[in-house]
Each structure stands twice: as structure tokens, then as C-alpha cells.
Amino acid sequence: MSKKRIAVLVSGGGTNLQALIDAQSRGELVNGELGAVIASNPDAYALERAKRAGIPGYVVARKSYGSSREMTRALVERLRELSIDLVVLAGFMTILTEEMVQAYPNAIINVHPALIPSFCGAGYYGLHVHERALEYGVKVSGATVHFVNEEPDGGPIILQRAVEILEGDTPEALQRRIMEQAEWKLLPQAVSLFCQDRLRVEGRTVRILEA
Ligand code: GAR
């Protein structure tokens, strides 16, 4: 089986990208290789992380295009040029149009910092997700890694992990704990499973096949 080429799409700090880079250097992205990092803004610190790891970095910025659709088309073209097999959205904050899902059906993975279907969908991103979870008073939150379909945060779930809310939690503290205990572990794990062809999508359910 030839190695799957992975592109990671980022907008900010890129700690999930770093988790993927670290997993790769430990040999834990079985049959996968990080081939490109694409940022939605040129100042994303994630680009610095890519550079340090020797991964080619690119910028595809929404403001360089007339519409989200045009931006998505440009992105798909770039992914094709780079022979990408798997697209990972790791804190990518720009909404893409359906051309992306059509070009990569069940081959786009997103990490979301809550237990979907709670605290997800339009307007739920980054720190806002944790603010809403604390406002609601839930006792557990967590992270979800899922395939991307046309519905925001609505695609088949690959992996989830719960994280407890603690007395006195702030959105920042909760965000950090969910990253450490869930996101940074689940995302590399899901990517590795994909690259080994061990994920089978059956309706809304993702079956994980034995190695
Ligand atoms: C992560 O918590 C990720 O789950 C979240 O943004 C953060 C990015 O951090 N993504 C979303 O909210 C998408 N809806 P990072 O740049 O340090 O990986």
C-alpha cells in the first residue's frame, strides 16, 4: 500500500498540527506522510511549526478570492496539484463550500472541541465552544474527530473522548485540558487509522477494522 499524502489545513496556533508532526516523528502515522500545511492566513503560527518540521507551507486566504466558492475551488486545485489523499482540518476557521466534500468524499477529517452533537455547528468554534459548554453547566465535554460532509460538524464520527468539567473551570483552562486529554491524542490516531484503510463508513457509523 503506498503512503497516503496528508494536507493539514490550519488558521491559528496549530497545536493539533504539532500533535500530528510529533506523532509522525514517533512513527505513529502508520502509512501516512504529512505532505503540506495550508493556512487561511499568512500569520498563522502553524506555518512556523510546518517550516520547523520541514513540511511545505502554503497560504490560501479567503480575502484573495471573490467568494467562498472561488476560494474552495482554488484550495481543491492546490490539493490536487500536491497529490493529497487526506485533508485534515485542524483548527481551520474558514467555511468551505460543497466542492471540497465532492472532491474528497470521506477523505476530510475535522477535529471539534466538544462531544458532537453538543456544542457544534455554525458559530461553534475555538474558545466559543468552551464558553457555551460552561454557560450550559454540563459536567462533561470532550472532543470529536469526524469525517466532513455538507453539514457543519455533521459528518460520521470516527473517535470521541469525554473530559470532565472541573470546579472553577475557565474557557481557557477547559480548552487546554480538552486539547491535552483528547484532541492531541484522537486526531493522530484517526489519521493513522485512515492511512491504514481501517475506517469503513456505513451510513452514519464509522467501523474501525482490526489491523
Ligand atoms: C482546536 O481546539 C480545534 O478543535 C478547534 O480550534 C482549536 C484550534 O487549535 N476547532 C474548531 O473549533 C473547529 N470548529 P490549534 O490551532 O492549536 O490546533
What are 144-182's pLDDT values in tens digits? Answer: 999 999 999 999 999 999 999 999 999 999 999 999 999
Whether the per-residue pLDDT at 195 is higher than 90: the answer is yes
- How would residue 1 be classed by pLDDT, with cut points 50, 70 and 90? confident
The three grid cell numbers given for residue 192, joined into one nine-digit string: 493513522
- How would residue 102 be classed by pLDDT, with cut points 50, 70 and 90? very high
Burial of 169 (0-12, 13-18, 19+ CB in 10 A): middle
Residues with CB under 6 A from ligand 1: 10, 12-16, 90-91, 111-113, 125-126, 129, 179, 183
Whether the per-residue pLDDT at 95 is higher than 90: the answer is no
How much is the mean pLDDT over the chain? 97
Segment 176-193 shows an average pLDDT of 98
CB 125 within 8 A of CB 153: no
Query: Which amino acid residue places its CA nearest to atom 9 of ligand 1?
Result: 91
Ramachandran quadrant class, 82 (left: phi over 0; alpha: psi -120 to 50; beta: rest): alpha
pTM of the model: 0.98
Q: What atom of ligand 1 comes closest to residue 178's alpha carbon?
A: 2
Catalytic positions, written as ranges: 112
